[in-house]
Amino acid sequence: GLYCFRKHSIGEASIVEQLAIVTSVFAWLTLVPPAYFNGYLEDYYARPHDPKWDVNPPEWYRLLFCVGVMVGHWLAAFEAPELHRIPGGWSNVGVWILIVVTLLMQYNSTLYLAKYSEKVVVPTAVVQFGPYRWVRHPVYASTMLLFATYCLALRAPLSLMFVVAVCLMYYEQKAKLEEV
């Protein structure tokens, strides 16, 4: 990603290198900060694993979700115009605001869930405070919104619909399993 960004800054990046820039930034923003806030990147004081929170759809379904999201992002890269043809300036302010709001929502929800899950042994009611007062599943909603923002930033409406459909199917199934 950094090598490709250097080539892009001097105007020599190919379409594949531009795709590598977007993919690496997206992966870093999605994975690294939440992992850090949840203690997964700490070497000496990692959080102990509690299997009571392991509620997942079957492995094939999770793999299908990952492939679907990846395909949606690749389709967006090919559906969209080349990065240097996307207008800059004030036309992207809304996209940047959406990215910041989405990331703040995701980090806030992740931090809140990390603190709350350590105190709850068996949930007795639906949580309706913190970020959950606005959205029933804020971590899922913010991840889906981040995927959608990627497609919006690239001006790829068909890929946007595909990625949102994949996320809705997966997160609906996962939420049903968690709420049982």
Which tens digits make up the pLDDT trace of 97-133?
A: 888 888 888 877 777 776 665 555 555 566 667 777 7
In this structure, how many other beta carbons lie within 10 angstroms of the beta carbon of residue 141?
19
Output the six-digit token pair for 115.
């603190």
pTM above 0.75, yes or no: no
* pLDDT at residue 34 greater than cutoff 80: no
Give the torsion sign (CA, 34, 108, 74, 90).
negative
CATH number of the domain that residue 25 is part of: 1.20.120
How far is residue 63's CA from residue 12's CA, in Å, rounded to a whole number? 35
SS3 139: helix
Which domain does 23 fall in, by range?
1-179
* pLDDT at residue 143 greater than cutoff 60: yes
Q: What is the pLDDT of residue 16?
A: 81
Give percent above pLDDT 70 in the chain.
72
Averaged pLDDT, 151-172: 91
Which tens digits make up the pLDDT trace of 73-89?
A: 889 888 887 766 776 66
Confidence of residue 25 (pLDDT cuts 50, 70, 90): confident
Q: Which amino acid is at 29?
A: L
Return left, alpha or beta for 88; rule: phi > 0 is left, psi -120 to 50 is alpha, else beta. beta
- Residue, of 30 and 169, whose pLDDT is higher: 169
- The count of structural domains within the chain is 1
How far is residue 95's CA from residue 62's CA, in Å, rounded to a whole number? 28
Confidence of residue 44 (pLDDT cuts 50, 70, 90): very low
How far is residue 150's CA from residue 124's CA, in Å, rounded to a whole number? 37
How far is residue 2's CA from residue 74's CA, in Å, rounded to a whole number? 19
